């Protein structure tokens, strides 16, 4: 049967086959990337002629070409300065963030970063952003898909770690665009993994997805029922993964080597060599119980024995961290490990025996691992891609991975959208001014769970101008957070107290200065602000007129109270105010009003005295005393 | 006494659910419409495909089908392909929309979006 | 909120029915069902899906549901200041907090947690009655009580996590 038709506006019926080709799923990983498609009942990973599915997420920048994947990894040995690996860790990160992790990176991070700019990597004589490097990886993955399918690949579902913040998600979408791909949807990696398992097996109940990849750790709790995947809670650590395992093993090896050979400083390239030995040891110890691995540096070879027990000791603190985070997430979802029906293992690092043991111990159940943990995410993404392009009976209901809020007085973070809120969502909260007459407010959007803004991630800043002058706490600023199905956030702020609608949507961006956003804001508020200014100017002029008339009248009646110079001084101030009131600067008008007030203070005082004297003239002293006494008594009451 | 009325078999028929849906869509369109217009056009890998649009006016040569309270204009170029077609509305878990049961169809392309007569 | 999911406007909620309607609405209107559809339909889907999420959040939680009902009845829920003035609620909250502070082992915390859960259940039952009898004043007090109980249960749960994961970094890392 033909696909059902909708009724369209005249001339708008879309062409048949305008419907898209089946989109692919891409797992853009820290260590490896994969592309998969779900054409038939089962999704498959697209492979090269040699049958390889994994594309190492490694890019080598040579003089005349860019090399991605296995070859780039080989180049890393000889030209470590030309190669970028684990770039995913830098996605959406600002310069400050990177300083924190720079020490752990095997390549140089550009020291000078433009104000508030994106991180830049110096590699192979080029200066690149993480987005560009990721785009190069995506191009290679796309090319592999196109070779396997024999057609163009233009649309993809791309997976991201559940804890990826807004900036990192935006960066991922940008990388896709740069690589000529439309990212139909960003799907959380653990969710994709559950999709791969759930659809195949028609599972129902609560499931945990324990995803320990090369660079990141994610734990998610999902509920599967009626073909709907509901993410109940997610958590993780963006800087915990197999790379860290390699790191601790390499450190152990290098400490041994230093004792043996007395070597101290290593170049970046040498450190990479040591990491490769460490990694080999880790991988081989998943099947072997012990072994020996060499490190060859500067022509000198050292040999390092390692057994499973020692490996466990080395990596245990890292696995402990992952387990503690898992417990926290379960608690978030208001459940206990026993409630979880099954645990899905994702990521190459879950092959490490200690990881499996500790997961089994925590949940009291044998974890699911029958789908290759390296491929399961891409396969799930492919299923989601098929669901989005062709329709599917399964549906994915996702949540926000981190809380979103704004900065309030005292550097505190007020959460507007708590973590684990189902998306899409829109939440509004009202804020107010802190000072009397405050006409602008800084809206600082942050993401994270901490109370203090400085400990959370800053997503965007913009100013709301044109708040009418009111006493502190009277203005009503409505801040609206909207999170779409990709987990991307739009924030708008509006002053509701006056009924004047001023609204602007700001998409938080990474790297870019706030100028662009500020520009958008200014543009949309220009008119409202002009109106407000006009009103305030008119009010200032009215004030000026009022005082000029009053002083003028006083001078005509009581000029005798002033000396010539005093009178001239007042007249000069009046002249100045008249001139200023012709202009358009309400602040200067207010200042001139103030100045005239000051200049006539003494004059007003004398007039007051004279009034009192004339009122008292002819009153007997005793009566006066009575009056004063009565006044004093009145005042005492 | 009026003269005899010729019984003309309509070009196409409309099922109850399709008629109901068309009425709802016309109500929800937010501007006055004369009905809906069905046409065919040559496109796709296998020949012809249907078009289904709101109608703002009446074309002189349109075949007018009035059935179950809705007016369907059939593009004159399409009449010969559509004779005997039943327009239905389907709704299931995955999708909803109008389908045409056309006895003239002989072949469809793989994706079902176009057909041959 | 009730209308969005077609649920009757009352405190008592058939949880299974709520779930069924929530999933049914999302299956029909989630933006994933509208990729490649006209912009207007996609916007509608985004809006509706957002509303459905919000309705599910409110109706699925007894405190939020009660607060919403009170709001509909023009009797907004009580504020923190009012609570502090209610000696009964305050007293009970303090007692429970002390019990939690004294509990050391997981078993002890579990005991506290179980008691609190029982109280929450009883409170919810009372609340159902109060709303059924349109006793809004009573409902307001009970809503507040339930708010406290829920917060307390969350804290107790979190504390238990820390006890179990004792050797690790703790819940706030």
- Please report whether residue A252 resides in a domain: no
A593/A506: higher pLDDT: A593
Number of structural domains (chain A) is: 3
C78-82 average pLDDT score: 60
Across the interface, of A13, A19, A391, the residue whose CB is closest to B51 is: A13
Contact (Cβ atoms closer than 8 angstroms) between residue A521 and residue A570: no
d(CA A633, CA A121): 82
The CATH code of the domain that includes A539 is: 1.20.1270.10
A626/A401: higher pLDDT: A401
Alpha carbons within 13 A on the beta-carbon side of A613: 6
A116-131 average pLDDT score: 75
What pLDDT shows up at residue A205? Answer: 82
Contact (Cβ atoms closer than 8 angstroms) between residue B104 and residue B62: no
Same-domain check for residues A422 and A569: no
d(CA A219, CA A335): 14
CA dihedral C40, C45, C51, C54 (to 10 degrees): -140
Q: A193, A189, A187: which is closest to A207 by C-alpha?
A: A193
Q: Which residues of A touch C168 (CB under 8 A)?
A: 320-321, 323-324
Mutation site for B-interface testing, chosen from A3, A5, A394 by largest number of B Cβ within 10 Å:
A5
Same-domain check for residues A408 and A393: no
Structure confidence at residue A210 as a pLDDT band (50, 70, 90): very high
Same-domain check for residues A469 and A488: yes
Single out the residue in A362, A397, A432 at which a domain terminates: A397
The mean pLDDT of chain C is 81
pLDDT at A36 over 80: yes
d(CA A399, CA A390): 23
Tokens of A131: 């987005």
B23-46 average pLDDT score: 74
Residue A490: its H or E element: strand A489-495
Same-domain check for residues A155 and A223: yes
Same-domain check for residues A39 and A128: yes
Contact (Cβ atoms closer than 8 angstroms) between residue B100 and residue A2: yes
d(CA A47, CA A55): 9
What confidence tens digit (pLDDT) does each residue in C108-130 have?
888 888 888 888 999 999 999 99
What pLDDT shows up at residue C105? Answer: 81
d(CA B90, CA A5): 10
Tokens of A566: 């005093």
d(CA A474, CA A435): 10
- Please report whether residue A271 resides in a domain: no
Conformation bin of residue C34: beta by default, left when phi > 0, alpha when psi is -120 to 50: alpha
Structure confidence at residue A235 as a pLDDT band (50, 70, 90): confident
B40/C62: higher pLDDT: C62
What confidence tens digit (pLDDT) does each residue in B101-113 have?
877 766 555 445 5
Q: To 10 degrees, what angle do helices A564-582 and A601-616 make? A: 120
Residue A236's Cβ-count burial label (10 Å; 0-12, 13-18, 19+) is: buried
Alpha carbons within 13 A on the beta-carbon side of A520: 15
A288/B78: higher pLDDT: A288
- Please report whether residue A635 resides in a domain: no
B70-78 average pLDDT score: 82
Structure confidence at residue A272 as a pLDDT band (50, 70, 90): confident
To the query of whether residue A88 is one of the catalytic residues in this protein, the response is: yes
A421 has a chain C CB within 8 A of its CB = yes
Q: A124, A163, A157: which is closest to A141 by C-alpha?
A: A157
Cβ neighbours of residue A107 closer than 8 Å, sequence gap 6 or more: A80, A81, A83, A84, A85, A121, A122, A123, A268
Same-domain check for residues A372 and A477: no
Alpha carbons within 13 A on the beta-carbon side of B71: 12
Flag if B36 and A7 touch (Cβ within 8 Å). yes
In DSSP terms, C118 is beta-bridged to: none
Bridge pairing between strands A83-85 and A66-68: unpaired
Same-domain check for residues A503 and A608: no
Domains defined along chain C, listed by start: 15-60 (1.10.287.110), 77-164 (1.20.1280.20)
In DSSP terms, B39 is beta-bridged to: B51
Bridge pairing between strands A182-188 and B115-116: unpaired
pLDDT at A518 over 50: no
Q: How far is CA C154 from the centre of its chain?
A: 11
The CATH code of the domain that includes A494 is: 2.60.34.10
Cβ neighbours of residue A528 closer than 8 Å, sequence gap 6 or more: A466, A500, A501, A502
Tokens of C79: 């504020």
- Please report whether residue A303 resides in a domain: no
- Please report whether residue A274 resides in a domain: no
Contact (Cβ atoms closer than 8 angstroms) between residue A219 and residue A211: yes
Same-domain check for residues A578 and A545: yes
Cβ neighbours of residue A78 closer than 8 Å, sequence gap 6 or more: none
- Please report whether residue A250 resides in a domain: no
- SS3 category, A510: coil
Domains defined along chain B, listed by start: 12-111 (2.60.300.12)
Tokens of A244: 């860290």
What confidence tens digit (pLDDT) does each residue in A211-220 have?
998 777 889 8
Contact (Cβ atoms closer than 8 angstroms) between residue A371 and residue A197: yes
Q: How far is CA C47 from the centre of its chain?
A: 23
A548/A627: higher pLDDT: A548
A509 to A94, A100, A434, A448, B116: CA distances (angstroms): 11, 20, 27, 16, 51
Q: Which residues of A touch C54 (CB under 8 A)?
A: 425-426
Contact (Cβ atoms closer than 8 angstroms) between residue B37 and residue B62: yes
Tokens of A437: 């007459």
| Per-residue 3-state assignment (H helix, E strand, C coil) for A515-548 | HHHHHHHHHHHHHHHHHHHHHHHHHHHHHHHHHH
Q: Which long-range contacts (CB under 8 A, 24 or more apart) does C117-121 make?
A: C117/C153, C119/C149, C120/C146, C120/C149, C120/C150, C120/C153
Q: Chain B: which residues have CB within 8 Å of chain A?
A: 22, 25, 36-37, 43-45, 49-56, 89-90, 93-100, 108, 111-115
pLDDT at A49 over 80: yes
A333/C126: higher pLDDT: C126
d(CA A284, CA A289): 9
Across the interface, of A7, A17, A393, the residue whose CB is closest to B25 is: A7
Of A155, A165, A166, A211, the catalytic one is A211
Report the greatest alpha carbon distance in chain A. 120
d(CA A499, CA A72): 60
Range of the domain at A541: 531-621
A368 to A221, A285, A429: CA distances (angstroms): 14, 21, 42
Flag if A330 and C36 touch (Cβ within 8 Å). no
User: Helices H, strands E: what count in chain C?
Assistant: 7, 0
Residue whose pair of structure tokens reads 């305050």 in the numeric block: C90
Q: A27, A90, A31: which is closest to A349 by C-alpha?
A: A31
To the query of whether residue A189 is one of the catalytic residues in this protein, the response is: yes
Same-domain check for residues A346 and A472: no
Residue whose pair of structure tokens reads 């090399």 in the numeric block: A67
Sheet architecture: strand order including A395-397 = A342-346, A205-212, A217-225, A228-237, A395-397
pTM as predicted: 0.60
Of A132, A136, A166, A189, the catalytic one is A189
Same-domain check for residues A536 and A507: no
- SS3 category, C171: coil
To the query of whether residue A63 is one of the catalytic residues in this protein, the response is: no
pLDDT at A636 over 90: no
The mean pLDDT of chain A is 79
What confidence tens digit (pLDDT) does each residue in A57-96 have?
999 998 888 999 999 988 877 787 888 888 888 887 766 6
Across the interface, of A3, A8, A392, the residue whose CB is closest to B53 is: A8
What confidence tens digit (pLDDT) does each residue in A431-461 have?
888 778 888 888 888 887 777 777 777 777 7
pLDDT at B79 over 80: no
Prediction ipTM score: 0.74
The most confident of A373-377, A458-462, A588-592, by mean pLDDT: A373-377
Structure confidence at residue A525 as a pLDDT band (50, 70, 90): very low
pLDDT at C10 over 80: yes
Flag if A324 and C169 touch (Cβ within 8 Å). yes
Mutation site for B-interface testing, chosen from A8, A10, A16 by largest number of B Cβ within 10 Å:
A16
Q: Which residue of C has its CA nearest to A482?
A: C50
Same-domain check for residues A408 and A379: no
The most confident of A79-83, A204-208, A306-310, by mean pLDDT: A306-310
pLDDT at A559 over 70: yes
pLDDT at A320 over 90: yes
What pLDDT shows up at residue B48? Answer: 66
Same-domain check for residues A451 and A490: yes
Q: Which long-range contacts (CB under 8 A, 24 or more apart) does A279-287 make?
A: A279/A242, A279/A246, A279/A249, A281/A249, A281/A253, A281/A306, A281/A311, A282/A242, A282/A245, A282/A246, A282/A249, A282/A311, A282/A352, A283/A351, A285/A311, A285/A353, A286/A351, A286/A352, A286/A353
A287/A539: higher pLDDT: A287
Single out the residue in A372, A397, A422 at which a domain terminates: A397
Q: Which residues of B touch A4 (CB under 8 A)?
A: 89-90, 95-99
Q: Which residues of C touch A485 (CB under 8 A)?
A: 30-32, 46, 49
d(CA A160, CA A220): 13
Tokens of A613: 């004297």
To the query of whether residue A27 is one of the catalytic residues in this protein, the response is: yes
pLDDT at C170 over 50: no
């Amino acid at each position: 049967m033909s696909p059902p038709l909708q009724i369209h506006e005249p001339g708008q019926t879309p062409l048949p086959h305008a419907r898209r080709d089946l989109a692919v799923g891409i797992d853009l990983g820290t260590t490896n990337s994969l592309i998969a498609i779900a054409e038939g009942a089962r999704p498959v990973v697209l492979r090269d002629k040699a049958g390889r599915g994994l594309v190492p997420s490694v890019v080598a920048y040579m003089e005349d070409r860019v090399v991605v994947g296995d070859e780039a990894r080989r180049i890393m040995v000889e030209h470590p300065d030309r190669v970028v690996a684990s770039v995913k860790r830098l996605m959406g990160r600002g310069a400050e963030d990177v300083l924190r992790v720079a020490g752990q990176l095997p390549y140089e991070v550009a020291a000078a970063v433009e104000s508030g700019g994106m991180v830049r990597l110096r590699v192979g004589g080029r200066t690149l952003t993480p987005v560009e490097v990721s785009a190069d990886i995506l191009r290679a993955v796309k090319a592999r898909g196109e070779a396997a399918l024999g057609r163009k690949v233009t649309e993809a579902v791309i997976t991201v770690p559940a804890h990826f913040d807004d900036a990192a998600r935006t960066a991922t979408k940008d990388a896709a665009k740069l690589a000529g791909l439309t990212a139909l949807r960003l799907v959380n990696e653990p969710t994709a993994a559950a999709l791969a398992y759930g659809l195949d097996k028609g599972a129902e109940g609560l499931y945990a997805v324990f995803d320990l990849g090369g660079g990141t750790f994610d734990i998610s709790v999902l509920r599967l029922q009626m073909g709907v995947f509901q993410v109940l809670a997610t958590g993780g650590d963006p800087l915990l993964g197999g790379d860290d395992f390699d790191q601790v093993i390499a450190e152990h090896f290098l400490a041994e080597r230093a004792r043996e050979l007395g070597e101290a400083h290593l170049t970046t390239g040498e450190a990479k060599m040591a990491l490769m030995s460490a990694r080999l040891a880790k991988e081989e110890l998943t099947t072997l119980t012990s072994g020996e691995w060499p490190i060859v540096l500067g022509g000198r070879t050292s040999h390092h024995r390692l057994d499973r027990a020692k490996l466990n000791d080395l990596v245990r603190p890292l696995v402990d961290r992952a387990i503690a985070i898992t417990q926290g997430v379960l608690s978030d979802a208001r459940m206990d490990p026993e409630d979880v029906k099954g645990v899905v293992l994702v990521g190459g690092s879950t092959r490490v025996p200690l990881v499996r043991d500790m997961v089994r111990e925590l949940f009291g159940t044998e974890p699911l691992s029958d789908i290759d943990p390296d491929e399961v995410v891409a396969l799930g993404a492919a299923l989601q891609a098929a669901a989005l392009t062709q329709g599917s009976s399964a549906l994915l209901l996702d949540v926000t991975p981190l809380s979103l809020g704004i900065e309030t007085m005292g550097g505190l973070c007020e959460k507007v959208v708590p973590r684990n809120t189902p998306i899409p969502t829109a939440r509004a909260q009202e804020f107010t001014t802190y000072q009397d007459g405050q006409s602008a407010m800084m809206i600082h959007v942050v993401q994270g769970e901490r109370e203090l803004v400085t400990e959370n991630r800053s997503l965007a800043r913009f100013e709301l101008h044109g708040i009418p002058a009111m006493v502190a706490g009277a203005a009503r600023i409505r801040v609206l957070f909207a999170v779409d199905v990709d987990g991307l956030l739009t924030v708008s702020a509006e002053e509701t107290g006056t009924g004047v609608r001023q609204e602007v949507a700001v998409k938080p961006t990474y790297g870019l200065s706030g100028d662009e956003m500020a520009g958008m804001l200014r543009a949309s508020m220009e008119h409202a602000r002009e109106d407000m200014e006009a009103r305030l100017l008119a009010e200032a002029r009215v004030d000026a007129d009022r005082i000029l008339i009053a002083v003028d009248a006083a001078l005509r009646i009581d000029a005798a109270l002033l000396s010539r110079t005093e009178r001239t001084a007042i007249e000069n101030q009046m002249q100045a105010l008249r001139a200023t009131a012709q202009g358009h600067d309400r602040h200067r008008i207010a200042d001139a009003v103030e100045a005239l007030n000051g200049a006539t203070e003494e004059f007003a005082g004398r007039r007051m005295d004279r009034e009192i004297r004339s009122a008292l003239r002819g009153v007997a002293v005793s009566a006066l005393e009575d009056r004063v006494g009565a006044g004093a008594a009145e005042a005492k009451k | 006494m009026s003269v005899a009325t010729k019984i003309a078999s309509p070009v196409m028929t409309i099922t109850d659910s399709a008629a109901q849906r068309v009425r709802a869509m016309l109500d929800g369109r937010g501007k006055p419409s004369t009905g809906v217009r069905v046409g065919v056009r040559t496109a796709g890998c296998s020949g012809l495909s249907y078009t289904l649009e709101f109608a703002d006016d009446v074309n002189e040569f349109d075949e007018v089908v009035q059935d179950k309270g809705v007016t369907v204009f059939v593009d004159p170029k399409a009449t010969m392909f559509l004779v005997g077609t039943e327009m239905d509305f389907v709704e299931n878990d995955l999708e909803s929309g109008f389908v045409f049961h056309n006895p003239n169809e002989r072949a469809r392309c793989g994706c079902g979006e176009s057909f041959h007569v | 909120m009730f209308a969005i999911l077609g649920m009757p406007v009352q405190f008592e909620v058939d949880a299974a029915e709520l779930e069924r309607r929530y999933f049914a609405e999302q299956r029909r209107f989630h933006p994933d069902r509208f990729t490649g559809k006209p912009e207007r339909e996609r916007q509608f889907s985004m809006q509706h899906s957002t509303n459905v999420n919000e309705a599910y959040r409110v109706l699925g939680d007894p405190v939020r549901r009660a607060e919403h009902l009170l709001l509909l009845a023009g009797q907004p829920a009580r504020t923190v200041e009012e609570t502090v003035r209610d000696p009964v609620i305050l007293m009970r909250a303090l007692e429970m907090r002390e019990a939690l502070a004294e509990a050391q082992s997981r078993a002890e915390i579990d005991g506290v947690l179980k008691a609190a859960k029982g109280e929450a259940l009883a409170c919810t039952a009372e609340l159902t009655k109060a709303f059924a009898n349109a006793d809004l004043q009573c409902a307001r007090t009970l809503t507040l009580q339930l708010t406290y109980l829920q917060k307390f249960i969350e804290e107790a749960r979190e504390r238990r996590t820390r006890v179990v994961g004792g050797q690790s970094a703790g819940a706030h890392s």
